[in-house]
Structure formats: structure tokens, C-alpha cells
Structure 1
Amino acid sequence: MQLALQRAGFRSLRIATGTALSLALSFGLDLPIPVIAPVFAVFLLATQSRPLPLKAAVVLALVVAVTTGSGLLLVPLLRHYAFAGVMMTALMLFLAFRYGLRGGNNLVATFLAAGLTMISAAGTADLQLAATVVGALTKGLLLAVLVSALAHALFPEHVSAGPKPAARAMSGDQAEAIALRATLVVLPAYLLAMADPASYMPIIMKSVSLGRQTCTTTARNAARDLIGSTLLGGLLAIVVWFALRLFVDLWMFFLWMMLIGLLVGRKLNGLSPTRYSASFWLNSLVTMIILLGQSVQDSVAGKDVYTAFAVRMWLFLAVTVYACFMLLLFEKRGRRRAGSTRNAVPRP
């Protein structure tokens, strides 16, 4: 029991330290989209009990190449044959989510979905913006991997603890239905971002996070897990924003982020019992990082932070409610299908 608590404590410290450090470094180094690194650091540290081995790092590097290449190749198609381009993007999103559900690496699937949508949406407006997004994704992923390795070195996993078990592969029909649902969750935000990529890039990141979450959430818990985690993420962003106004400093940003990371990490790793799922707390942390990071950028750019936050929060909630609707729709369709199948079975 003591060993299990110590292991959970180290995992919570890894999540808090890695997330806060990647966030501080992203803003300190003035990366193009600074929220990318901490978001991917959260996914890495929450899903991996050990640092990425060399082979996995090489695979991620190849994913970067494939993502950037496929996203840029879609740009001419989207510009000249918009409908065909959107359908091709939807197909590639479906294949990325299906790959993760069929036993593939969920991190790779998430990065493929995020990179494909962000790069192609940016390219429809400006190729220079697409190149900026490519650079942001590459630098953000590299920073997340390096910070993750450092966090594991500072708080290593106990030698008796093996790697986290791989996610159970779903059957073909089930994986295809859930992958289609996740794709339909992402598509509206993608279409919105194509109209103004610079303003709506955070919506794509949120929708990809929601698409990932809908792969593990049931319709029964949809409102609590999806809407509740979005509202909690917004509340945490507001709290940290006003706390930062007391001492406007990068180190204070790091410390506040570490505190929130510790609180969420305790919930994620079972140190503080809760009736909410791990995906609820993970999505809350990701939502807070995106909202808070964008508000900091708006402040630096001299924009009206409160109006921008209100609009962004409203859009996040709209995307989340739509995701809940898709969950309910697909589950209702699945129950109807199962009922018709049972009725079709001949009785002896």
C-alpha cells in the first residue's frame, strides 16, 4: 500500500513538473503556438509510466514528417476543390482515430489528428501560416518529449512497476463506429477554423481533445465528463489568470501551473478519491492550458482579454455540447441496431 501511494505521488509530481516546465519554456522561448508543448506533455506524462524509448521517439519523428506532408498536400485540394478536400481530411481523421482504437499508439493518433487539421486549415488561408504551424508542432513535440524525459529522470518510476498496459484493441465494427463519431466531433471545429485559422486554432486543439475523450466516454456520462470538464477547465483558467495578475512573472506562471498540475495529478493517480473519471481530469487540465495560454498571448498582443476569453469559452462549450449530442446519437443508434439484431435471431 505504501509503495502504491509513493508511486502515485511520483506520477503526480511528474505530471505537475513536466506540464509547468514545458509551459514556462514555451512562453520563455517565445514559441509560435506555446500551448502545444504543455498539451502534448500532459498526454505523454499521463499515459506513459516510462520515458519514450529511442524507437518510439523515432516513430514520433516519422509521424511529424507524415503529418506535415499530408497536411500540406491537402492545401491545393482544399483551395480548388473544397468539398473533396474536406472529405479527404475526414477520411484521414477517421483512419487516425481508428488506428488508435485498434490497438495503435493513442499519442500517435492524437498527434496525427491535431497536425493534419491544424496544418491544412492554416494552409488554406496562407502558406506562411501553415509553415508557422509546422514549426510550432515540431518544436512543441520535441520540447514535450525532452521535458517528459527530464520529469522521468527527476521522479523515476519504481523498478517493480512495469509499463502501463496497452489499451485493449476494439473489434473492427466498434472501432469504426467510434472513430466515425470522433471524426464528426472534430469536423465542425475544423470547418470553422478554415474561415479564420489564426483565431480558431485553439478550437481545433479542443475538438481533437474532445474527439479523443469521446473514444472512452459513454453517453451516460457524456454531460458530466465532457461539459463538466470544460467548465472546470475554464474556471481553473480564470483562477490562475487573476492569480497571475498579482505577480506578473514567468516563474509565478510556472509555480501556479505546477500547483494546478499537482491538484489534477492527485485526482488522475487516485491519491485523492473522486467519482469522476481520469479522462475528466485530463480534459480539464488540457482545457485550462489552452484557455489560459491564449489569454496570456492576447494580453501580450494588446487584445481585449476578457472579450476574447468569453468568445473562446462559448465556442468551447458549443463544441462540447455538440460532442455530447454525437455521443447520444450514436449510442441510441447502436441500441436500436442491437435490438433489431436480437429480434432477427430465429427462436428455436
Structure 2
Amino acid sequence: MIQIVLGPDREMARRAVDGLVREHDPAGQNTTVIDGRTASVADVTTRAGAVGFFGEPRVLVVQDLLSRWSRGDSEGDDAPKAAMKGFDIAALFAAIPAVNVLILTDPNLASVPAAVKKVLPPDATVTAGEPPRGPALLAWLARIAAAAGASLDQATARHLADHLFPKSWASKPTNARYDRPPDLELARNEVEKLAAAANFGQIERRHIDALSPRGEQDRLFPFTDAVAQGRLPAALTELDRLLAEGDEPYRLTAQLYQQAEMRFALATAGPRRDPVAVGRDLGLPNPARMSSIAANRRSRDDTDRADREQLTRMLATERMMKSGGLRRPEDVIYHLVTGQAIPGRDEGGT
């Protein structure tokens, strides 16, 4: 039997694997867990084909093996090919006795790599750890609060979701590449912490504002503002900080393009239109953010010319990315940042 457990949510993937292990090896005596990132084909195949004493079923959990077949690695397209060289996944599938259970788990992936799917037996089961969003996520937060001995109403749950996952909790973005799904493990820990802070009573907004980390968008504002104002030293400092904290270059690039779209929306609306009203018309979760975008536009000497130049640079960057002129995601984001710099503009924006 072959079971594949994917992400993107780590908690859901971990709980799914734990459930499968309990189902097939309740005593936990015939389960082996190995790291698929470094394991050899011989080791994995041998362990998968080994039968327990007296013919008892064995459970083999292989972590992160599938990533060796996934594409889009930051090292380039050849990296996955090098990682899978000499590893015959079809031979591994064929080596599994009917009584054994092979669990391939990789929470970093949301789908089975094409090379693996091509040889996957038809009776294999794939479980995706897709976290709930929108009203389903709010209901999940309320259930976790209740399990922790507290209560969380819908309005406060929405405030917590906005706090933790401001751009992703309500729905998926159009481009899945820029998706940052809600992290259920983080959310669970936050709810349990807030339940204790509320003395296991009603969790309120003040608890969230005082104890929960700011949403990821707040962490991005110093970076996007510095880029928009042409302050290259500040922009590079903030960019290095975000990358060091684990932010994906693809997501940061998407934020710059999104900021450009909001800037053009302001230009189209005209100088007399209230920026916050424009933000409401666009359906932004934080319409007040448009005031900062408007201020960033005014920081340029000639806003109309600056808008046109920014659009030209961003389109040129996109063409270079699609044509292979900019291959690495890091190259794309640095190209965008340096392209908007204003010579001589210091940290203070003057």
C-alpha cells in the first residue's frame, strides 16, 4: 500500500501521517521513519520491501523524498534532475509487499511531481493538507479556542485571521505561486496562548493586539515604502532582512507589482479622489494603506512621469524573466529594487 501525504499545511500533513501510522501499526512496533532528502535508493527500497516478524505488516515513513523530483528549485532546473539521478521511484513502488505500507510525506509540496505521478500505482492514495480558508478557517479557530477552554466569536476570529494571515486567510490568490496559506500550527499556538491570556474566558481583540505577532504585511511596509520612494540603501537593508527571515523572493516581487497596480489605480482616480475611498473600491482588506501609496507617489518630483517610468521598468523586468534573462528569483527582485532607485536619495527620503 502506498500513501502520499502532502502540504501545504504542516500540521495537517503531520496529523494525517500520525493517523495512518496508528491505523496500520497501533502499537508502533513496526514503523520506521527515514529522511528521504539524503537516503539512498538501496536503503529506501530495502526497508520498504522488508516484511515484519511472522509476516506482520511494516510501515515505512519517508520524509521529503518527493522534493527530489519537484521542479522550480532555486538552483535551477537541473537541480531536481541531479537529485533524482539513479533513484528509480518505479522500482521502489514495485518492491513494496502487499502487507506493507509506504508513506511518502512532503508538506513542502502541494501536488505530486509529474515524474512520480507518471509511475504511481492506481491504488495509491494521495492526501493533500490544504488548510481551511474564509468562514471555514474562522470556524476552525473557534473550535480550537473551545478545545482550549475559551471562546472566540466570529468577529474576533476574523480580527485574529487578519492579524496572522492578512493576505491569504479569506481566499487563494489568482497566482498560486504567490500563495502563503494559513499556517494551522501557528494559528493553534496563538489561539491556545490567547485562551490562557483571557483566563480561559472570552478572547477579545485587545488580547490579540497585545500578544499576537503583527501580520506579514506590516513587516513588508518598510520595504515596499523604501522601494516606492527610491531610497535604495533602506530598500536593500529591508530586503536582506526579509530574505533572512525566510520570505520568498517570488512573494516580494508580487508585492512590488501589487503596489504598482495600486499606484496606477490612484493615478487613474485623479488627484482629488480620497485614497482610502479608492482602497475601499478595490476591496482592499486595509484601505488606509492607500494613503501611504499616495504619499509615496507625491515623494517623486514628477508623479505622472514616474508612473510611466515605473510601468516601463516593471514590464521590461517581466519580459526578461519570461525570456530567461533573469533566471533566479533573487535576480528579479534585486532588478526591480535597483531600477526604482533615485540617485542621491538618502535614508530619510530627501
- Flag the structure with higher strand content: 2
| TM-score (structure 2 length as normaliser) | 0.25
Q: Which has the larger radius of gyration?
A: 2
Indicate the structure whose relative CO is greater, using CA pairs within 8 Å and at least 6 residues apart.
1
- Flag the structure with higher helix content: 1
